[in-house]
A and B are shown apart, each in its own frame.
Chain A
Amino acid sequence: MSSFITSDVEPLPVHYEKTEYIETDTGNKVSRKSVIHGSQNIILGGKTIIQTECMVRGDLRRSGTAHAVVIAVGKYCLLAAKSLIRPPSKVYKNIFSYYPMKIGDFCHIGEGSIVEAAQIGSHVRIGKNCVIGRFAIVKDNAVILDNTVIAPNCIIPSFSVYGGNPGVLIEELPECWPQIMEREAKTYYSLFTSK
């Protein structure tokens, strides 16, 4: 496996100002400097971190239904600084609508990335400054390298590493990837502590 997928260095604790983050009962850590619209339509699975200046558009919802979940995020996820999560939209049978978006567990979304996918599976690592196009589906256990552009409606298969603009298959991941990503996500959460 290439050396740019995992690092050999022990991860260091990441400290944040105690006043900057809100910690919920379920262990979610949400930065006060993040911009979250429509928070009643967003579900965080627990022990998820939303960092500074991250923007989550929960207001772009399907019209009509009374209480809809627009963005559902799993547990131990990381939405890094300056990233943007918004649901995808399309015209279906002559009606324009935004569709709900689901992110699985143990997902890390890197800094500055724009994610407009329909679904992101579990154990996915998305690098920095990526653009995941509309209605893309990233299956479980995938890695999207830094600065990748994934075209709209793309389906990223499991255990694959995609990179480049346009995103193409670079290499494949080992079968132990879910365990690696799960350990990485849990370690990150445990090291993300207040000063």
Chain B
Amino acid sequence: MSTPIGQLPPATITSFGAENIICDDTEIRGATISFGNNNIVHPKSKIMSVGGGAISFGNYNIIEEGVVIINRTTEVLHIGNDNTFEVGSRFEGLSLGNGCVVEPKASILPGTTVGDNCVIGTSCTTWQNDVLESNSVIFGSNNERRKQTPRSKEQSSVHMKHVEYLKDVLKKFHAQKGGVVQAIGIVS
């Protein structure tokens, strides 16, 4: 790592849309981290830019507790919409598409590009500098791969309902992160 994590400055968090729920107990450090709308960041997650590049999230992402998202490069790390980072997963890749699910304890190693609608199974890892095409699934103890059918409408509506629910519940129980810059703009 270029800078020790503890010495990274707190990030400038920019929120481009409405209704981002970013709990206070998260570690968001490094460069500018920007969110679209309706993102949920559970407590005890870590979003960090060790290399200096910004991290930009789309809309409707769910980042659960224990998730570590690190940008080790100097370029922007793009994360798309409707993604779910489940408990304890680790993302250090170059980019992530839309509608992906990173299951608990999964690891996406540095340099990996992940397409849309991918599932990285529980405790699975990718290779370094890997390219995961859209609709691919990594599963099992040997990190086997296969393709899946494109995302259905039911799956998207389940995800939306999850986000709406979490917006209500997390607001009641957790303090929100201060210092979030509300900007008006379009997340690319």
Could you tell me which A residues sit within 8 Å of B by CB distance?
Answer: 35, 37-38, 55, 57, 59-61, 63, 84, 86, 89, 91, 94-98, 114, 116, 129, 131, 133, 147, 149, 164-166
12 A-B contacts (beta carbon < 8 Å): A55-B44, A55-B66, A59-B173, A59-B174, A60-B169, A84-B87, A89-B162, A91-B158, A98-B169, A116-B87, A131-B123, A166-B141
Q: Is the CB of B173 within 8 A of A84?
A: no
**When the two chains form their complex, are residues A149 and B161 in contact, meaning their CB atoms are under 8 A apart?**
no
Q: Which residues in B have their C-beta under 8 angstroms from that of A63? A: 165, 168-169
Shortest distance from the beta carbon of A1 to any chain B beta carbon, whole Å = 25
| In the complex, chain A residues whose CB is within 8 Å of the CB of B168 | 63
Give the docked Cα–Cα distance between A151 and B170 (Å): 26
Task: Flag if A55 contacts B65 (CB, 8 Å).
Answer: yes
Are A165 and B123 in contact (CB-based, < 8 A)? yes
In Å, the complex CA distance between A86 and B86 comes to 12
Q: Is the CB of A131 within 8 A of B105?
A: yes
Interface residue from B65, B88, B140 paired with A166 (Cβ < 8 Å): B140
B residues in contact (CB < 8 Å) with A = 25, 43-44, 65-66, 87-88, 104-105, 122-123, 140-141, 158, 161-162, 164-165, 168-170, 172-174
> Chain B: interface secondary structure?
loop
B98 to chain A, nearest CB (A): 20
Least Cβ–Cβ distance between B147 and chain A, in angstroms:
19
B141 CB contacts on chain A under 8 angstroms = 149, 164-166
A191 smallest CB distance to B (angstroms):
29
Residues of B within 8 A of A61 (CB): 169
CB of B173 within 8 A of CB of A37, answer yes
Inter-subunit contact A131/B104 (CB<8 Å): yes
Residue of B nearest to A60 (CB): B169
Contact in complex: A38, B88 (CB < 8 Å): no
Partner of A35, one of B44, B87, B164, B169: B44
Are B161 and A96 in contact, CB atoms less than 8 angstroms apart?
yes
For the complex of A and B, the 3 pairs showing the least CB-CB separation, nearest first, are A96-B161, A59-B173, A165-B141
Given contacts A55-B66, A97-B165, 15 further A-B contacts (CB under 8 A): A35-B43, A60-B169, A61-B169, A84-B87, A86-B65, A86-B87, A94-B161, A114-B105, A116-B104, A131-B122, A133-B122, A147-B123, A149-B122, A149-B123, A165-B122
Known: A84-B87, A91-B158, A96-B165. A129 touches B65 (CB 8 A): no
Q: B66's contact among A60, A84, A97, by CB below 8 Å, is which?
A: A84
In Å, the complex CA distance between A65 and B66 comes to: 28
Chain B residues near A98: list those with CB within 8 A.
165, 169
* Shortest beta-carbon distance from A70 to chain B in Å: 11
Chain A, residue nearest B173 (CB): A59
Q: Please measure, in the bound complex, the distance between the C-alpha atom of A84 and the C-alpha atom of B89, giving whole angstroms.
A: 13
Q: Which residues of A contact B44 (CB under 8 A)?
A: 35, 55
Taking CB as reference atom, which chain B residue is nearest A35? B44
- Residue of A with least CB distance to B66: A84
Residues in A neighbouring B140, C-beta threshold 8 A? 165-166
Within the complex, the shortest CB–CB distance from B89 to chain A, in Å, comes to 10
Residue of A nearest to B166 (CB): A60
Q: Are A37 and B43 in contact (CB under 8 A)?
A: yes
B43 proximity list for chain A (CB < 8 A): 35, 37
User: What's the nearest-Cβ distance from chain A to residue B9, in Å?
Assistant: 24
